[in-house]
Amino acid sequence: MEFDSHSNACPAKPSGAGEKGAALIGSLTFQNLVSIIGWACFAASTILWIVLVIPHLRQYKAPNEQRQIFKIVSTPLIFTIVAVISTHTYHAADYLEPLANLYEGFALASLFLLYVQYVTPDVTTRDAFFQSLEKKGKNGGVTPGGSLRWFWNTWRTVFFYVVIYTVLVIIQEITKATGAYCSTSSKPRFANIWIQALELGTTIWAILAVIRFQRRLREFMNGKRAVAKLVMFKLFVVITTIQRFIFGILRSKVTGGSKVTYHDITIGLPALLNCVEALMFMVGNYFIFNVREYRTGQEKDGPRYRIRKSLPDALNPMDLIRAIGLAFGSLRSRRSSQG
Q: Judge whether residue 283 has pLDDT over 80.
A: yes
Radius of gyration of the chain (CA): 22
Q: In whole angstroms, give the CA distance from residue 275 to residue 48.
A: 14
The structure's pTM equals: 0.86
Kindly indicate the confidence band of residue 109, based on its pLDDT and cuts at 50, 70 and 90: very high
The more confidently predicted of residues 151 and 294 is: 151
Tell which wins on pLDDT, 195 or 303.
Answer: 195
pLDDT > 90 fraction of the chain, expressed in percent and rounded: 45
d(CA 77, CA 228): 19
Give residue limits of the domains in the chain.
Answer: 30-124+144-338
pLDDT higher than 60, residue 7:
no
What pLDDT does 339 receive? Answer: 46
Cβ density class 280-289: b for 16+ within 10 Å, e for less: bbbebbeebb
Asked if 13 contacts 26 with a C-beta cutoff of 8 angstroms, the reply is: no
pLDDT at 142: 62
Instruction: For residue 65, count CB atoms less than 10 angstroms from its CB and return exposed for 0-12, middle for 13-18, buried for 19 or more.
Output: buried
Query: Can you tell me the distance from the alpha carbon of 96 to that of 111, in angstroms, rounded to the nearest whole number?
Result: 24
The pLDDT assigned to 164 comes to 94
What is the enclosing helix (H) or strand (E) of 135?
strand 135-136
In this structure, which topology does domain 30-124+144-338 adopt according to CATH? Rhopdopsin 7-helix transmembrane proteins (1.20.1070)
Between CA 120 and CA 124 the distance in angstroms is 9
β-bridge pairing 142-143 and 135-136: antiparallel
Contact call for residues 241 and 199 (beta carbons, < 8 A): yes
Closest C-alpha among 330, 283, 310, 338 to residue 154: 330
Query: Is residue 141 scored above 60 in pLDDT?
Result: no
The string of pLDDT tens digits covering residues 56-92 is 998 888 999 999 999 999 999 999 999 999 888 888 8
